[in-house]
Amino acid sequence: MPKTLVATRAAGLAAMQAFSPAMGSRYANGRNYDRGPGQHKAVSVLSPYVRRRLITEQELVAAALAAHGPENAEKFIQEVIWRSYFKGWLERRPQVWASYRQGLQADLAALDRDRRLRRDVERAQDGQTGLACFDAWAVELVETGYLHNHARMWFASIWIFTLGLPWRLAADFFYRHLLDGDAASNTLGWRWVAGLHTRGKPYPARADNIASFTGGRFSPRHSDLDEVTQGLEATEPDGLPPVLPLRALITPQPGRPTAVLITDEDCRFEDFALASLDIRASATLSASHLRSSLPVAEMVGRFEEQALADTAQRAGLVPMPMRADHPDALARWATGVGATQIVTPYVTRGPLHDWLQEAAPYLVAKGIILAEWQRAWDRAIWPHATAGFFKVKQQIPRILDQFISA
């Protein structure tokens, strides 16, 4: 991934169009190969754009179908929908996000107390463990803001089972640096490797697998990697929390004086009915720093800033820049512009949702409602994201009929 990735919808569309010829058999046959920085040709590297919906999942699927048809594009389509599955799964089990955040704070406190743990974590994050493949991936992540999905799985497995380090610290490391960093995909991806998502089925990093799917760039010895015999399910003896109903939301009310809030949760504002609202003001909300209590990579903040500016320009808005610091700022801004509702695209579970929850009492005190647009794409997938991916996979033909064939 180039360091100068441009965070605009135009750049995302151009990249999608350029990759569309490879969304069929080339993707299916080559997607598992990690060729190294600048050589990720068999995968789309579109995830930073999809994460912010500068391009949407529906657009990606439509492009794949148009270029290759449903059979040849099957694998690519499944991987796109997997992201929506993870988002829905965390919406249905928000307790898992809360548990991750609480556990991370405990792990960070332990890091402050334990000098040896701090040394080992720093070596791992700096790419100084002595294990060539792992160290190269750590450096690539920090320098480019990206890792191939297979490399993410290997890295996570080695961190957890070979190095024996707390998984949440590494999930936080990823989240601070990934341009496509997403609360659901990142948290649940790490849990999946650890054997916590699919209970008792951890992902083992194997030397022969790494050698094969890096094209021989790395050839670790079997003895370099610990054998994975069980996951971390014993750390959560009560198992997965129960599935909850999808949260209720307030839909925008056309008659109310409105302040429009632009975040990088969803940057495809053209899809929403802005013209129906009595818009008094707009703001862009910078929130990437909420990903962690530790410093978030500068390139992540720059990408967010560009995406927000591009979104405002395409929507014809001239927003006030705002940073998600003290949550009372939201109510003060809305009151100052004479708005009684703030409208924004649906905010999924993650740090921005947490911040908005903290802002809620201040909004209520000022008589301001927070209203959200929700995409039909999410409403179609999330009700089925209650267990494994299979339940969502069964719905793919219906999803294609509903969103692509229409």
- pLDDT tens digit sequence for 179-192: 999 999 999 999 99
How is domain 96-235 classified at the CATH fold level? DNA Cyclobutane Dipyrimidine Photolyase, subunit A; domain 3 (1.10.579)
Q: Between the CA of residue 375 and those of 51, 111, 391, 398, what are the distances in Å?
A: 14, 40, 20, 16
The CATH code of domain 257-374 reads 3.40.50.620
pLDDT tens digit sequence for 325-382: 999 999 999 999 999 999 999 999 999 999 999 999 999 999 999 999 999 999 999 9
DSSP string, 8-59: SHHHHHHHHHHHGGGTTHHHHHHTT----TT---SS---HHHHHTTSS-HHH
pLDDT at 2: 47
Mean pLDDT of all residues in the chain? 96
- Give the domain ranges of the chain: 9-91+381-403, 96-235, 257-374
Q: Can you tell me the distance from the alpha carbon of 403 to that of 380, in angstroms, rounded to the nearest whole number?
A: 10
Residue 370: helix, strand or coil by DSSP?
strand
Q: How confident is the model at residue 258 (pLDDT cuts 50, 70, 90)?
A: very high
Q: What is the mean pLDDT of residues 53-60?
A: 97
The arithmetic mean of pLDDT across residues 196-200, rounded, is: 94
The token pair that represents 138 in the structure block? 């750590």
pTM above 0.95, yes or no: yes
The class (CATH top level) of 9-91+381-403 is: mainly alpha
Using 50, 70 and 90 to split pLDDT, how confident is the model at 405?
low
User: pLDDT tens for residues 265-295?
Assistant: 999 999 999 999 999 999 999 999 999 999 9
pLDDT digits (tens, 9 = 90+) for 63-88: 999 999 999 999 999 999 999 999 99
pLDDT at 1 over 80: no
373, HSE (Cβ side, Cα atoms, 13 Å): 22
Q: Is 3 a residue whose pLDDT tops 70?
A: no
Cα 46 from Cα 55, distance rounded (Å):
9
